[in-house]
Amino acid sequence: MAETARHSETRYGNRPTMKDVAARAGVGLKTVSRVVNSEPGVTPDTERRVQEAIEALGFRRNDSARVLRKGRTASIGLVLEDLADPFYGPLSRAVEEVARAHGALLINGSSAEDPEREQELALALCARRVDGLIVIPAGDDHRYLEPEIKAGVATVFVDRPAGRIDADMVLSDSFGGAREGVAHLIAHGHRRIGFIGDQPRIHTATERLRGYHAAMADAGTRVEDSWVSLGPTDPDRVRAATERMLSGPEPVTAVFAGNNRVTVTVVRVLAEQERRIALVGFDDIELADLLGITVISQDAAAVGRTAAEHLFRRLDGADHTPARVELPTTLIARGSGELPPA
Amino acid sequence: MAETARHSETRYGNRPTMKDVAARAGVGLKTVSRVVNSEPGVTPDTERRVQEAIEALGFRRNDSARVLRKGRTASIGLVLEDLADPFYGPLSRAVEEVARAHGALLINGSSAEDPEREQELALALCARRVDGLIVIPAGDDHRYLEPEIKAGVATVFVDRPAGRIDADMVLSDSFGGAREGVAHLIAHGHRRIGFIGDQPRIHTATERLRGYHAAMADAGTRVEDSWVSLGPTDPDRVRAATERMLSGPEPVTAVFAGNNRVTVTVVRVLAEQERRIALVGFDDIELADLLGITVISQDAAAVGRTAAEHLFRRLDGADHTPARVELPTTLIARGSGELPPA
DNA sequence: TAGGCCCTGGACAACGTTGTCAGCTGAATG
DNA sequence: CATTCAGCTGACAACGTTGTCCAGGGCCTA
């Protein structure tokens, strides 16, 4: 007896279906479908009757059934690292705007920099049959997406390259940006320059480190091991790393911060110092202008927009070979990067 | 002839179905279903054969069909104002975490403060049959959601109250927070205090204004019309409003900023002034500690978490009457709010 | 007035999955 | 050796929608 009760409660409160609407309006099922989809071939009078029935019953089309029938979901998935990160907010929003322009919804999730969670999320989105997928890689092996891509899920990797798979990518010029930033410090007289970046398994982290080394090499400047620190970007570690560089036998006179989270912490630590230490950070930050922080800026919104547009171009049938787009960065001088060595 | 070609290309690259897997593994359809859902009653040997077929064909379950059959989508919708706003990032992330803990995906969209777009989005999510809906209202009439709520979509309104409908809400104490912030300024000797807030149709904006008036009245302090400015929070308008208050016949000595966007712009304008103007802002901001900005902080993550937990409690069957939760705010003194009148 | 055409409306199958139920096999039991 | 039972397995319907196709009726024309 509990059987039937449970049943009727479970499936979303017994929502009315087109069949119910049809019955109430005294028309055929298909006619309701035509009205709901604004298809031609329905008399104004019939349409009115159907609309009234829809109104009265509180009917709403079940898109799951629609998707099942049509094959397209009009939705795309976005797997990013952390929705709460100020870099990804604008990126996500830009993707959403493009999706909206194409009549698609956005489903997104955060991987929290965990490769397993990235995979889990991406595959869950594929199971929902998103038309396309934008992934900010946490892991470095994306072969698990091969069947999906082959099956037609338009996929674009963003911010970091895909691993062991040939696919579309939209990246920022991490190497060039870091190189320019460090060269900027060198140009202002610095030689002992620290680098604090993210974990080495993250591509952008190693690219930026590579840029650092390139700039130092360009200037014929030696690099001490103790000036470089890669690892998780939680405040505690970054703080410790910064303080270590500032207090060693050969203390640095400038720091290059590998991303926005690092920059924020480094700024705090530097504010506590007596010496004025120069700083250039990768990624712009809100209010950085007021704090006078010199940054290498990458346009998160542009990255997201580019990726999404690329994705929809793919969906619209263009099946050129996988493309790799690299967007330039901009150095914005605001003071902290122009301080002379102390 | 193009007919068949178009057809076969359209539906997502002819993905394999359970039927295909069954055929390849030489088993029945239902057995594949059992394996995919880890249901009991399958011989290890059979399971292996099925797994191999799945592997070989690159099969992935079609969740649309599953949803159609089962009635639950294991996903919730979040309609917010702007994903790129630093207040909503953490909120969204908190919702996501709770959803994840309940095995649900998050679909979200930005209303851009447009009531029509809010409705469009919310209803689109309902058509996808999300199990629950979290809405940060842009409009002030949510009767359009009545049939959905009646049909079983667990709905929670956040940050601002629902309009003309009885539903669950999770709010911050805008009135109390603003009152405390303004009282703080008064306690530090200010009498001519400006208020810059969002458009009056936004509930939190008027609540905060009410708090401002309450604090001023508490102190028996007169309020000039020219000290109050409500409107869109784009930098240009806020800048103009701020400059007007600072240059009138009775210039203010302190400003209360109605939200984070306003605060950011006001900080910029104040930095250009010769006089030191006191400031308290509603919402905390990244790096506000370094800039010494005193704020009324509301915990965005806590708001999101509370709302999501409430939603899932609803889904789990608790059908108490609609609840209204109000979360407290915290004043964080950092210097800008403690400046004496100039 | 008869014939043909267009316009509207409806019956039916199909989308890919899961729930129900019945059949089959092999082992355990009388 | 017959019978029962349990454990696997598969056939079939159903979920709610849309595409296909056909029927009926009104209107125009010859």
d(CA A315, CA A129) in angstroms, rounded, equals: 13
Q: Assess whether pLDDT exceeds 60 at residue A10.
A: no
Supply B299's token pair.
Answer: 């915990």
d(CA B69, CA B33) in angstroms, rounded, equals: 13
B85 touches chain A (CB under 8 A): yes
Report the percentage of chain B scoring pLDDT > 90.
89
d(CA B241, CA B71) in angstroms, rounded, equals: 52
- As a dihedral over the C-alpha atoms of residue A130, residue B103, residue B107, residue A203, rounded to 10 degrees, the angle is -70
Q: Assess whether pLDDT exceeds 90 at residue A302.
A: yes
Query: What average pLDDT does the segment B93-112 reach?
Result: 95
The answer to whether B73-171+300-327 and B174-298 have equal CATH topology is yes
- Phi, psi dihedral angles at B128 (to 5 degrees): -80, 0
pLDDT of residue B8: 32
Report the percentage of chain B scoring pLDDT > 70.
96
Name every chain B residue with its beta carbon within 8 A of the beta carbon of A150.
13, 58
DSSP B340: P
Choice between A160 and A9, residue whose per-residue pLDDT is larger = A160
Q: Please name the nucleotide lying closest to B20, CA to C1'.
A: C16
List, as ranges, residues 97-116 from B with C-beta within 8 Å of A.
Answer: 100, 105-110
Q: What is the mean pLDDT of chain A?
A: 92
β-bridge mates for residue B280, sequence order:
B256, B294
- How close does chain A come to B206, measured CA to CA in Å? 27
DSSP A244: H
Q: How far is CA B149 from CA B79, B152, B162, in A?
A: 15, 5, 13
Burial B121-143 (b: 16+ CB within 10 A, else e): bbbbbbbbbbbbbbbbbbbeebe
Is the domain spanning A74-172+300-327 CATH 3.40.50.2300? The answer is yes
Q: Assess whether pLDDT exceeds 80 at residue B204.
A: yes
Cross-chain residue pair A152–B127, CB shorter than 8 Å: no
- How close does chain A come to B160, measured CA to CA in Å? 21
- Phi, psi dihedral angles at A294 (to 5 degrees): -80, 130
Per DSSP, chain B holds a count of helices (H) and strands (E) of 14, 12
Residue A61 CB lies within 7 Å of the nucleic strand D = yes
Residue boundaries of the structural domains of chain A: 2-61, 74-172+300-327, 174-298
Q: Which residue of A has its CA nearest to B268?
A: A290
pLDDT of residue B13: 57
Cβ-contact B145, A60 below 8 angstroms: no
Element (H, E) at A213: helix A203-218
pLDDT of residue B206: 96
Residue A69 CB lies within 7 Å of the nucleic strand D = yes
Q: Which residue is nearest to nucleotide D14 (CA to C1')?
A: B69
B63 touches chain A (CB under 8 A): yes
B53 touches chain A (CB under 8 A): no
Report the percentage of chain A scoring pLDDT > 90.
87
- How close does chain A come to B205, measured CA to CA in Å? 23
Query: What average pLDDT does the segment B223-229 reach?
Result: 96
Q: Assess whether pLDDT exceeds 80 at residue B83.
A: yes
Query: What average pLDDT does the segment A43-72 reach?
Result: 93
Burial of B247 (0-12, 13-18, 19+ CB in 10 A): exposed
Per-residue pLDDT band for B4 (boundaries 50, 70, 90) equals very low
Residue B29 CB lies within 7 Å of the nucleic strand C = yes
Element (H, E) at A104: none
- Other beta carbons within 10 angstroms of residue B166's beta carbon come to 11
Q: What is the mean pLDDT of chain B?
A: 92
Q: Please name the nucleotide lying closest to A41, CA to C1'.
A: C8
Q: Assess whether pLDDT exceeds 50 at residue B7.
A: no
Reduced 3-state DSSP string for A254-308: EEEECCHHHHHHHHHHHHCCCCCCEEEEECCCCCHHHHCCEEEECCHHHHHHHHH
Helix axes B300-315, B88-101, angle to 10 degrees: 30
Cross-chain residue pair A147–B84, CB shorter than 8 Å: no
- How close does chain A come to B76, measured CA to CA in Å? 10
Return contacts of B268-274, CB within 8 angstroms, 24+ apart.
B268/A289, B268/A290, B268/B235, B268/B239, B269/B238, B269/B239, B269/B242, B269/B243, B270/B242, B271/A290, B273/B246
The listed CATH number (3.40.1390.10, 3.40.50.2000, 1.10.260.40, 1.10.150.20) that belongs to domain A2-61? 1.10.260.40
pLDDT in tens, A233-250: 999 999 999 999 999 899
pLDDT of residue A136: 97
Sequence-ordered list of residues with C-beta below 8 angstroms from that of B29, at least 6 positions apart, any chain: B18, B19, B22
Element (H, E) at A315: helix A300-315
List, as ranges, residues 189-208 from A with C-beta within 8 Å of B.
Answer: none
User: Could you tell me the distance in Å between the CA of residue A50 and the C1' of nucleotide C12?
Assistant: 21
At the topology level, CATH places domain A174-298 in: Rossmann fold (3.40.50)
Q: Which amino acid is at B264?
A: V
d(CA B236, CA A52) in angstroms, rounded, equals: 47
List, as ranges, residues 254-283 from A with C-beta within 8 Å of B.
Answer: 264, 267-268, 271
pLDDT of residue B1: 29
Cross-chain residue pair B291–A287, CB shorter than 8 Å: yes
- A38-42, B215-219, B226-230: segment of lowest average pLDDT: A38-42
Q: Which residue of A has its CA nearest to B263?
A: A287
pLDDT in tens, B127-185: 999 999 999 999 999 999 999 999 989 999 999 999 999 999 999 999 999 999 999 99
Sequence-ordered list of residues with C-beta below 8 angstroms from that of A234, at least 6 positions apart, any chain: none
pLDDT of residue A320: 72
Per-residue pLDDT band for B316 (boundaries 50, 70, 90) equals confident
Supply B272's token pair.
Answer: 């250009």
Is the domain spanning B73-171+300-327 CATH 3.40.50.2300? The answer is yes
